[in-house]
Amino acid sequence: MSRAPNAKRQMKSAARFYAVQALFQMEASGQMVDPVIREFEDHRFGAVYDGDEMVEGDVDTFRNLMQGAVDNQARVDQMTDRALVAKWPIARIDPTLRALFRAAGAELIAGKTPPKVVIVEFMDISNAFFPEGKESRFVNAVLDHMAREARPEAF
C-alpha cells in the first residue's frame, strides 16, 4: 500500500499549523501577507532547529489558507465573534487562538474540506499550542458554530 496519501495528509496538517503561526506573526509584527508567506516557505518548511527537522508543508494549502484568511478576515472575525459569548469578543481572546480561528475560518469558507475534518485538524493544532488541553474543547465549540454558519448544508 502506498504511503503517499498519508504523506500528503501530513503535509496539509503541517500547512495548517504553519498558517496559524504565520497569521499570529502577521498580527504581532504588522507584516503583510506576501513577505510572511515567502519567509515561511523559504525558512520554516522543512527547517532544522536544534537537530529536529520541521515537517514540509503543503504549499498550496498554506497559500490558500493565508490568502483566504486575509481576504475574508472581516467575515471570519464576525463568524468567530458570533460563536463566542458576548463577554469575550474576538479582540479579547488569545492571539494564537485568533490566528487559529482565522485559518480555520478561511478553510471553512473555501468549502473544499469537510467541516468535521477542519474542526479535528484545528483542534489538534490547538493541542500543540496549548498542551494542557482545556483550549481544545473551546476550539471545538467555536469551530462547530462557525462551520454551521459557513457550511449549513454540510450538517
Confidence at residue 49, expressed as pLDDT on a 0 to 100 scale: 76
Confidence at residue 4, expressed as pLDDT on a 0 to 100 scale: 65
**SS3 of 53, please?**
strand
pLDDT tens across 16-27, in order?
999 999 999 999
Domains held by the chain: number: 1
Nearest to 98 by CA among 37, 19, 17, 20: 20
Nearest to 26 by CA among 60, 55, 54, 65: 65
**SS3 of 114, please?**
coil
Confidence at residue 86, expressed as pLDDT on a 0 to 100 scale: 67
Q: What residues make up the domain containing 88?
A: 4-154
pLDDT tens across 94-136, in order?
999 999 999 999 999 999 999 999 999 999 999 999 988 788 8
Give the Cα separation of 155 and 33 in Å (integer): 32
CATH number at residue 122: 1.10.940.10
Which residue blocks in 50-153 are alpha helix, DSSP H?
59-71, 73-83, 95-110, 115-129, 134-150
Give the Cα separation of 66 and 106 in Å (integer): 8
pLDDT tens across 71-104, in order?
999 999 999 999 987 667 777 899 999 999 999 9
pTM of this structure: 0.91
Q: Report phi then psi at 21, rounded to 5.
A: -60, -45
Q: First CA to last CA across the chain, in angstroms?
A: 33
Beta carbons of 150 and 114 less than 8 angstroms apart: no
Give the Cα separation of 67 and 103 in Å (integer): 9
C-alpha cell belonging to residue 154:
454540510
